[in-house]
């Protein structure tokens, strides 16, 4: 139990509760009071709460929303109205390819054994796409891209789908294994 109240003793809070519910830095910044007063603030918070004696959620429940994608970019990509794919030629951004590829996979028109030929004008553009993926580690694949790439490769091990570098390696290996490049 993160917090316990008793008539004879001060309330006791474990560190995990404090870290989850009241940021020491935020507390210090907003009140200018010493951190030792933090326990008093938590007691006051619970005294004023309808859920006295229980952890009070900071974030209200919500329904997650899918990441928006743009499946058609500069005349290349997936056309939802005709359910067809216009191959990418040079001059594309990596996110344009990922958005279009994701929409096509979600629509069920991509063959995992022949997807490179369906998406790129030639295999050198596939290599260009892989080279265009960010390698600095600060960008990550969002869920829709990740799930689509997992569908293409059949590789659902989350460890390999965290960042773009890992995704590029997995896509290249899959392309080699299926004789697409």
Question: What's the pLDDT score for residue 58?
Answer: 79
Structural domain of residue 83, as residue ranges?
A: 72-177
**What pTM value is reported for the model?**
0.63
Checking 1-8 for CB contacts under 8 A at 24+ apart, the result is: 2/55, 3/42, 3/46, 3/53, 3/54, 3/55, 4/53, 5/46, 5/52, 5/53
Structural domain includes residue 61:
no
Contact 88, 78 (CB under 8 A): no
DSSP string for residues in 104-130: HHHHT---TTSHHHHHBSSHHHHHHHH
As for how many domains the chain has, the answer is 2
Q: Is residue 105 part of a domain?
A: yes
**Across the strands, what pairs with 79?**
84
Q: Are residues 41 and 96 in the same domain?
A: no
pLDDT, tens only, 17-75: 555 555 544 444 444 555 455 555 555 655 555 555 556 667 888 787 877 777 888 88
Same domain, 86 and 140: yes
Q: What is the pLDDT of residue 177?
A: 94
Same domain, 98 and 39: no
d(CA 35, CA 57): 22
- Domain-embedded: residue 116: yes
Q: Does residue 144 contact residue 69 with C-beta atoms inside 8 Å?
A: yes
Two structure tokens written together for 38: 């933090």
Local structure of 31: helix, strand or coil: helix
For the chain, give the number of residues: 181
Instruction: Supply 140's token pair.
Output: 């990550």
Average pLDDT of the residues of the chain: 77
The residue with greater pLDDT, 17 or 120, is: 120
How much is the pLDDT for 41? 58
Average pLDDT value for residue range 103-114: 94
Q: How confident is the model at residue 137 (pLDDT cuts 50, 70, 90)?
A: low
Per-residue pLDDT, 20: 56
Same structural domain for residues 39 and 85? no
- CA distances 20 to 15, 17, 27, 99, 106, Å, are 9, 5, 13, 35, 37
DSSP letter, residue 91: S
For position 90, what pLDDT does the model report? 86
Give residue for tokens 């590029």.
Answer: 168
- Looking at the structure, tell me whether residues 29 and 81 fall in a common domain: no
Distance of CA 149 to the CA centre of its chain: 14
- Phi/psi at 95 (5° precision): -70, -30
Q: Considering the domain boundaries, does residue 135 fall inside one?
A: yes
């Amino acid at each position: 139990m993160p917090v316990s109240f008793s008539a004879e003793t001060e309330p006791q809070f474990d560190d995990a509760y404090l870290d989850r519910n009241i940021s020491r830095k935020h507390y210090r910044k907003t009140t200018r009071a010493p951190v030792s007063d933090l326990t008093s603030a938590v007691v006051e918070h619970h005294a004023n709460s309808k859920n006295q004696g229980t952890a009070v959620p900071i974030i209200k429940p919500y329904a997650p929303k899918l990441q928006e994608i743009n499946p058609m970019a500069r005349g290349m990509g997936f056309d939802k109205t005709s359910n067809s794919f216009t191959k990418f030629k040079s001059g594309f951004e990596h996110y344009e390819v990922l958005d279009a590829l994701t929409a096509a996979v979600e629509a069920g028109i991509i063959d995992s054994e022949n997807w490179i030929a369906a998406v790129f004008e030639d295999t050198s553009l596939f290599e260009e796409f892989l080279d265009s993926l960010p390698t600095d580690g600060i960008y990550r694949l969002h869920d829709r891209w990740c799930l689509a790439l997992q569908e293409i490769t059949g590789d659902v091990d989350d460890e390999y789908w965290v960042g773009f570098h890992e995704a590029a390696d997995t896509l290249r290996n899959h392309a080699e294994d299926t004789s697409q490049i």
